[in-house]
Amino acid sequence: MPITPKNLLNHELIGLDVTIERSTQRNLRGLAGMVIDESYSTLTIEVEKPVKGKKRKTGRKRTGKTAKEEKIELVEKVIPKNNCIFIFTLPNGVKVQVDGQKLVGRAEDRTKKTFGRW
């Protein structure tokens, strides 16, 4: 079954692109990346972080990437679900806003739950 805005909460979130629209923590607002892990109360997001200077290594061997691509480092950020409002981008390009309170819980239990209007 494809992911739609109506059944997003009943699907796996890993692999979806996400942006944090609002949060009680100022440093999390506007953070965007891909969901790589999910626990009971957190989402782990892989975020691109620019690398300053030439001394730091990205951990990748040269693979013919342009200089611009080589100056980006991927960083994992752990985001609490309960105090954020997320915007998920579905595979078909549709953006869906979700209150993090609806996401709190184990992913396998959330997929079995039924939700009213959200």
pTM given for the model: 0.77
118 lies in some domain: no
Here the CATH number for the domain that contains residue 78 is: 2.30.30.210
Position 27 in a domain: yes
pLDDT given at position 115? 58
Range of the domain at 67: 8-105
pLDDT at site 80: 96
- Does residue 113 fall inside a structural domain? no
Residue 61 has pLDDT above 60, yes or no: no
Quick one: pLDDT at residue 1?
A: 74
> For residues 100 and 1, which has the higher predicted lDDT (pLDDT)?
100
Contact present, 107 and 81 (Cβ < 8 Å): no
**Which pLDDT does position 72 carry in this prediction?**
83
Of how many residues is the chain composed? Answer: 118
Copy the structure tokens of residue 107. Answer: 């992913």
Report how many domains make up the chain: 1
Q: Write down the residue that tokens 């549709």 correspond to.
A: 94
SS3 content of the chain, % helix, strand, coil (to 5): 15, 35, 50
69 within a domain of the structure (yes/no): yes
114 lies in some domain: no
Kindly state whether residue 93 falls inside one of the protein's structural domains.
Answer: yes
